[in-house]
Structure 1
């Protein structure tokens, strides 16, 4: 049995576990699909994952998706996923991190700010429903 906050990185080239696909579909409607060579996924098995797009030559990475199953929220799993993946990306030389988030996703905004992220821009009417996207960065 996995400890509640045991975050693991999916091995490069490994297929996405079915629970990742199901959770992604539940959260976003359409799952991301198989990982490309520049993408990396950290997970707490069966309950959550963080998907990043990496640009190692630029020293940058972008958080594409972070999801925790509704029944497992409020236990610090999102924070564990975010902090572990940030730390490992930095160890791999990617210390300029970026993400976008809906302003209405207040829990996510609080998490990002508590984990050292700073607002750096806004994309007006970015989402299909017309909501803006807030842009965040984390350096170093």
Structure 2
């Protein structure tokens, strides 16, 4: 089984009131609607999302607002499927955690463009604040 692990440097602070300072970057793989869930850490197992009927990125109602999260350490992690409100400047998007991303959040270029006012390519990686929110905020 192939797991997609994204890498960018991260500096997580101690969570305060459910928030964490971290980084966010984009990866084109996260924007591929046909990417199979089976290639991710949150595919199967007791915490996997395939058993809930999800098969590809486009099968999630919040696509392209999904990707890797620093809270997911490995396959079948208890944090699979958690939703995070990610804030940069005055913009916020909700991101569904589906894979390991040890160096901050990794999302689709489309999602980062919304968050950064179409500056994803120019910025590459940004410092953000992440707050866990109910999974319903990500359409689950």
Normalised to the residue count of structure 1, the TM-score between the two structures is: 0.34
Which has a greater percent of helix? 1
Q: Who wins on radius of gyration, i.e. which is larger? A: 1
Normalised to the residue count of structure 2, the TM-score between the two structures is: 0.34
